Amino acid sequence: MKQEEQIIRTEYSELMQKSYIDYAMSVIIARALPDVRDGLKPVQRRTLYDMHELGIRYDKPYRKSARIVGDTMGKYHPHGDSSIYGSLVVMAQDFKMGLPLVDGHGNFGSIEGDGAAAMRYTEARLQKITQEAYLADLDKNVVDFVPNFDETEKEPAVLPVKVPNLLINGAEGIAVGMTTNIPPHNFGEIIDGVIAYMKNPDINTAQMMKYVPGPDFPTGGIVSNRDELLGVYSTGTGKIKIRGKVEIEHGKGGKDRLVITEIPYTMIGANIGKFLNDVYSLVETKKTNDIVDITNQSSKEGIRIVIELRKGADAENLKNLLYKKTKLEDTFGVNMLAVVDGRPETMGIVPIIRHHVIFQYELATRKYTTLLAKEQEKKEIQEGLIKACDVIDLIIEILRGSKNIKEAKACLTEGITENIKFKSAESKKLAAQLRFTERQADAILEMRLYKLIGLEIEALLKDHEKTLANIARYEEILGSRAAMAKVIIKELEGYKKEYATPRKTAIENLDEVVVEEKKIEEMDVVFLMDRFGYAKTIDLNTYERNKEAADSENRYVLTCRNTDKICIFTNTGQMHLLKVLDLPFGKFRDKGIPIDNLSNYNSNEENFVYLCNLAAISHSRLIFGTKTAMLKVVDGSEFDVAKRTTAATKLTEKDEVLLVRRVEGNETLVMHSEKDFFLRIETSTIPEKKKGAVGVRGMKLGDGDYLKAMYLLASGDNVNLEVKGKEVALNRLHIGNRDTKGTKK
């Protein structure tokens, strides 16, 4: 009989909420954030474990990256190969990682942002430190193993990492609703910090920072806000200011050069190219005239960016300008977020080390428990063999008199002598007293005859002594936390001795850079813009010499100060501000720069309605007129704003600005509609409004009619228009009332 379908009704919003929370937690826990214990994200952990399983040790030949990626993806990480290879590449980059975990062979990218070669070309193997401190003891039951995605393999839930990798290599990751950004630190300093914590678990952040004074970036540089680091390391959040290292080299003839030898960690990759472009921009925008040339001479040996200066340049001031205006001084936003017991948590440096130490005790406990069990098993077997050597003749008699192994084993373990032929009753009586354990009996039955040689028996006794010593040592370690701490500290000191490197990043307290900007010499200039939107400025004398050509060839010509701003009013109701200083100042025949490049004006979406300098309108008034005949007058001071773009007026749907002009109040305004209605009114009848207002109606328009032009007439202006073959003199039109139909022509 067919089972009836069950329709489960559920609230859609609840279902979406649950599904999104599940997805978010999956990204947080199983993808983007590192575990506080081993400091690794799942993709890194799986890649390293797979390399360990493939036997790609530091002392074995390199293997193709494609093999590692494919094996990791097939066994443990069912995601894209690009994420696995990307993780492998980063773990091999010494400019990204404080302690590279992978030894890469081939093109693994560069500090300047060049990508790594395809994985079919590159090769990799584990670093020695990775093998010793990250993957050792996996065979000693030190961590839990969990089923992989299809339950065909087992993978470690966490790697038995013996150093605080989360702090040594740092971490960065974007999850859902949270991010982590932990700077790398110096290996030796972090080890010192862990040992200090183990000796004094009540250590506070300030005391810890005597051992770990701050981050140690692989790119070097200078941390300039040492006093703020205590707050960062206490809370786990904050900002670290980093500067590149700049040296001044003195050249011949008084020509100095600035040489950048270390860059901020945040500049790695494409930001080096951006920095070079920013320096070019400083020259182009005339922020400095001291730079003659800039070259990037960086190589595998290190960073070397050379800035050639002109003779007599102020190198110190220029260095400060670079810090102020480029990424040569940058901020590293710290957010020490990691997964703790399955939950994301933001921690300071001491809690991170505390979690690491708790993990170390757990690893050591499990390791020595496993080793103790093995030694005790070995002890049991050794004791059985030693005892067997003393009664070897009896054991041989038992074996020769037994019909099968089962009978012989029963006699050895339980003293059962039935069905076994003995040479004498005495032997049978002694055999009945035997009580070997199962393991001892198996070892006796498998023992080879050469083990009865005198020297072999001596070796067995020595091994037994060694086993007893190991058992005593392991029991002492497991029985005393102080003894276990001693073992962990000794191991950490060994790692420090072999792998610690000198600090690269300087930690200092530096004042905020002050740039002495040269005072701009104020002067009158003439702004020129041609019909294609190319603009420039020239001095007054040049304009006077070329006045006729300038007036005829340019759409806008106006005199202003070089410290002024140009206001661009458009038909969309926007006003764009443009600094006159941003415009090229030079010769009359220079081409200029498109207005689009220097302001937010977009020539594809907007049209010019009016262009003027800010100083000219700030103490006067502007009249606005739109296609739907909405009018208003606005005080010019309202347009003196800091924003590059502001709404100059409010427009209704499908409306656009037709007219923006300066008014004194004694002019007349002529409105000309598409259906050739004309209305002339006095501007004094138009009320003053705020720039955010729509305005008032200037003319009643018929259905489907709208204004196509407006004309502002001062007294004495004579403007004639041709309408349907007739000439209309606008200054002779009757002055009517605002908000009337006007006259048809």
Residue 131's CATH number = 3.90.199.10
pLDDT of residue 1: 47
Asked if 581 and 712 sit in the same domain, the reply is: yes
- pLDDT per position as a tens digit, 111-156: 988 899 999 999 999 999 999 999 999 999 999 999 999 999 999 9
Last residue within a domain, chosen from 102, 132, 160: 160
> Is residue 677 in some structural domain?
yes
> Is residue 8 in some structural domain?
no
- Centre a 10 Å sphere on the Cβ of residue 18 and count the other Cβ atoms it contains: 11
pLDDT of residue 244: 94
Asked if 699 and 630 sit in the same domain, the reply is: yes
Asked if 428 and 472 sit in the same domain, the reply is: yes
Asked if 721 and 623 sit in the same domain, the reply is: yes
- pLDDT per position as a tens digit, 194-228: 999 999 999 999 999 999 999 999 999 999 999 99
> Is residue 730 in some structural domain?
yes
Spans in the chain with pLDDT lower than 50: 1
Look up the CATH number of the domain holding residue 259: 3.30.1360.40
Kindly give, in sequence order, each residue whose CB lies less than 8 Å from that of residue 602, ignoring residues fewer than 6 positions away: 596
Asked if 391 and 482 sit in the same domain, the reply is: yes
Asked if 578 and 543 sit in the same domain, the reply is: yes
pLDDT of residue 53: 95
Q: Residue 157, exposed/middle/buried by CB under 10 A (0-12, 13-18, 19+)?
A: middle
pLDDT of residue 515: 66
Residues 87, 264, 91: CA angle, nearest 5 degrees: 15
CA distance 239 to 371: 46
> Is residue 16 in some structural domain?
no
Asked if 487 and 554 sit in the same domain, the reply is: no
- Listed in order, strand segments (DSSP E) in 237-312 are 237-243, 245-250, 256-262, 291-296, 305-309
> Is residue 664 in some structural domain?
yes
Asked if 539 and 616 sit in the same domain, the reply is: yes
Of the residues 23, 58, 76, 121, only one is catalytic, namely 121
Look up the CATH number of the domain holding residue 462: 1.10.268.10
- Do 291 and 309 form a contact (C-beta atoms < 8 A)? yes
Annotation marks residue 121 as catalytic: yes
Asked if 444 and 552 sit in the same domain, the reply is: no
pLDDT of residue 659: 94
Last residue within a domain, chosen from 277, 309, 327: 327
> Is residue 352 in some structural domain?
no
Nearest Cα neighbor of 406 from 419, 397, 390 is 419
- Centre a 10 Å sphere on the Cβ of residue 123 and count the other Cβ atoms it contains: 19
> Is residue 339 in some structural domain?
no
pLDDT of residue 519: 66
Kindly give, in sequence order, each residue whose CB lies less than 8 Å from that of residue 517, ignoring residues fewer than 6 positions away: none
CA distance 679 to 707: 11
> Is residue 230 in some structural domain?
no
Nearest Cα neighbor of 414 from 439, 432, 387 is 432
Q: Which domain holds residue 311?
A: 245-327
What Cα–Cα distance (Å) separates residue 173 from each residue in 35, 632, 668, 671? Answer: 12, 54, 65, 62
Asked if 544 and 491 sit in the same domain, the reply is: no
Nearest Cα neighbor of 157 from 149, 167, 147, 166 is 147
pLDDT of residue 37: 95
Look up the CATH number of the domain holding residue 627: 2.120.10.90
Asked if 626 and 566 sit in the same domain, the reply is: yes
Asked if 443 and 402 sit in the same domain, the reply is: yes
Strand pairing of 630-635 and 621-626?
antiparallel
Last residue within a domain, chosen from 137, 160, 183: 160
- pTM of the predicted model as reported, rounded to 2 decimal places: 0.74
Amino acid, res. 314: D
Number of independent structural domains in the chain: 4
